[in-house]
Amino acid sequence: MTFRAAVVQMASGPDRRANLERAAALVRQAAAAGARLVALPEMFTWRGAPGDEAAQAEPIPGPTTDAMAALARGCGAVLCAGSMLEAVAGTARLHNTACLFGPDGALLATYRKIHLFDVELPGRVAARESDVYAPGDRVVVVDTPLGRVGLAICYDLRFPELFRRLVADGAEILLVPSAFTAPTGEAHWELLCRARAVENQCVLLAPNQTGPTQRGYAHWGHSVIVDPWGVVLARAGGGEEVVVAEVDRAAVDRVRREMPCLTHARLV
């Protein structure tokens, strides 16, 4: 099966309504270019100042997922609605949650980010997601009309054991909505995206945020679509944009048959 896929690179800001309108416009642009699978970046709904997260959170299902379901249905595409702030009853901490919708608008899966970005790179990046977020505890793989999809978010890219679990559960396509920082992205972003695609012999879509933030660092952009041989099929630059690539779903089966690394694994 061959189909068009798109990653949407955004420079989301603190205006939630503007972000949602911009996301919808870019998803429609991707669908108009023939994309049947479209992925938005991490925190596409809001990228604002530290301390304001709780005011931006909502339950799932909720208004944003309703809007994304209608968007997927209107475009007739499988839509990864990046990630959003999910409010959870009974706890002050939030979840960073990705939602996947079918072309009929059905909510196929939700994935709560497992690995939280707690880092201190002096003079470059300081972040402590665990002050705000609770980690997820579930590996998520789901069937779609385009293949079996595994979900991850941003910092998860640095943990190959998660991706091997996704593949063990049958993933053929990996979706990694991200807000990778500029300092770490310049060093590691494409390297990690290509590595996860190659070692798991999957198609990988990684839409990223771009541009400055209110947190003292910028996001890297350079969203990519990678095939199971590690070839970058499409790559964004440093601004808001949609990039589209022709994806050969059969390439996953071919690479796994010709170089059956996954069946040779001895340490699991």
Give pLDDT, residue 224: 98
Residue 3 has pLDDT above 90, yes or no: yes
Residue 250: φ, ψ to 5°: -65, -20
List the catalytic residues: 42, 113, 154
| Bridging pattern class, strands 210-212 and 35-39 | unpaired
- Give the integer Cα–Cα distance in Å for 239 and 209: 9
pLDDT at 60 over 80: yes
pLDDT, average across residues 147-170: 98
Average pLDDT of the residues in 99-126? 95
Please check the confidence at residue 73 and state whether its pLDDT lies above 90.
yes
Long-range CB contact pairs, 236-240, < 8 A, 24+: 236/7, 236/9, 236/208, 236/210, 238/210, 238/211, 239/9, 239/11, 239/210, 239/211, 240/9, 240/10, 240/11, 240/22, 240/26, 240/210, 240/211
- Sign (positive/negative) of CA torsion 42, 47, 49, 52? negative
Would you place residue 232 in the very low, low, confident or very high pLDDT band (cuts 50, 70, 90)?
very high
Structure tokens at 176: 């990694």
Q: Where do the domains of the chain lie?
A: 2-261
- Give the chain's mean pLDDT: 96
- Cα 221 off chain centre by: 13
Does pTM surpass 0.95?
yes
Q: Flag whether pLDDT at 126 surpasses 90.
A: no
Report the alpha-carbon distance of residue 132 to residue 27 in Å, rounded: 29
- Give the span between the Cα atoms of 40 and 10, in whole angstroms: 8
Tell which CATH classification among 3.20.20.70, 3.40.710.10, 3.60.110.10, 3.40.640.10 matches the domain 2-261.
3.60.110.10
pLDDT in tens, 9-50: 999 999 999 999 999 999 999 999 999 999 999 999 999 999
The pLDDT of residue 132? 94
For 173-212, how does the pLDDT look when each residue is reduced to its tens digit (9 = 90+)? 999 999 999 999 999 999 999 999 999 999 999 999 999 9
